[in-house]
A = this chain, B = another copy of it.
């Protein structure tokens, strides 16, 4: 039985050698426990933060211990009331092919209602992150202009679709012509910008947003965001969801100071994590599921096959190799 551990804390861009595979004995369950067989692993940019030491909103991973992330697993044996053999569950689990759980923090998911992978994507933390960031912080009004960076990523592609459902004009920023094309043709964005070919991001945003930017959902930070910041309207809202451009930095990333822009246009910038809205998850998940069933929300996923490919799938996030949610299927 294989497990994937953190071998060393990455310096800069993580490498395969920062991970190690360790073979462990098949665990046994006691009364009050269930045995879980992993079926899907979510790999997410934020895990990079947990690979570093230091205080953050979640504890850092320990060296020589299994990494954990959102996963789907099948109950293969149960000595715990409420869980039966054959059930599927989602939750924060360890990167192990097989593991024991007491059921804490696990949700039962229904493979008949939606594909299992969607419980890690649009119906999981990814969808909830998009939903709460956009609606609670961004508060988009019909007719407003919403810009999304990392638009072809897991969260970004959902943000754009929800913004369209709210009647906004939606502009995506992504890293290839193919992604840009798909954002418009498949995800319903009004237009999209390829940041790798745009000569001047501020000007590209100005051209794509003749009425300025009211809401900016930021998954990337860095120079892309600097360009968007030059085009903010009065009372604009910036949802600071991710900063993938900085996660692998080895020194403190520097950039133009934002305070003058915030004052000039009475701009709000708000960082968040999805767990801040835990008490509202119960209303958000049915809404996301309804949009999904009605075909109003499309789930874009990049599925990688094989437990052994989990570290590489994680590394590929930083090269933008995923479209939508990156998931490892076991």
Contacts and interface: CB of A to CB of B under 8 A. Distances in A.
Interface string A235-269: 00000111100100000111111111111111111
Contacts of A187: none
Contacts of A17: none
Copies per complex of this chain: 2
A10 interface: no
A266 B269 CA distance: 10
Contact of A246 (B57, B260, B265): B260
Contact of A276 (B49, B241, B252, B266): B266
How many A residues are at the interface, by size bracket? 35 or more
Interface string A90-106: 00000000000000000
30 contacts: A56-B264, A57-B264, A57-B266, A221-B257, A222-B257, A240-B262, A240-B263, A241-B263, A242-B263, A246-B260, A252-B257, A253-B260, A254-B257, A255-B257, A258-B258, A261-B271, A262-B269, A262-B271, A263-B271, A263-B272, A263-B273, A264-B271, A265-B271, A266-B271, A266-B272, A267-B271, A268-B268, A268-B269, A268-B271, A269-B269
